[in-house]
Amino acid sequence: MKQPAVYIMANKRNGTVNTGVTSNLPQRAWQHREGVMDGFSKRYGCKMLVWFEMHDNMEAAILREKQIKAGSRKKKLALIEENNPQWKDWFDEIAQ
């Protein structure tokens, strides 16, 4: 599943969230879950993949990531709630 994607990881419902971009979502989500990457997600325990959006090319994905990161926390939470009101961890579905 190598395709550009923007994603949001969280540590719990309505908790700390982290937005990122990748060309391999299953691998990146696994890295966050396992804590193998130093940084924000590891420090705050953001291990749940609660939102993602696939893109046709990396340029579009990066633009979307910048748009989301520039938004308020309230907008990020609304984006998650709109598509994932239960704050389900999507890792198992995308890792197959």
Distances (CA, A) of 77 to 23, 54, 74, 86, 87: 23, 19, 5, 12, 10
pTM of the predicted model, to two decimals? 0.94
Q: Sign of the C-alpha dihedral, residues 46, 52, 58, 61?
A: negative
Read off the CATH number of the domain in which 39 is found: 3.40.1440.10
Residue-level pLDDT at 32: 95
Indicate the number of domains in the chain.
1
Strands lying side by side in the sheet with 2-10: 17-24, 2-10, 48-54
Per-residue pLDDT of the chain (96 residues; tens, 9 = 90+): 589 999 999 999 999 999 999 999 999 999 999 999 889 999 999 999 999 999 999 999 999 999 999 999 999 999 999 999 999 999 999 987
Question: What range defines the domain where residue 28 resides?
Answer: 2-94
Q: What pLDDT score was predicted for residue 1?
A: 55
Q: How many CA atoms lie within 13 A of 5 on its CB side?
A: 19
| Residue 19 β-bridge partners | 8
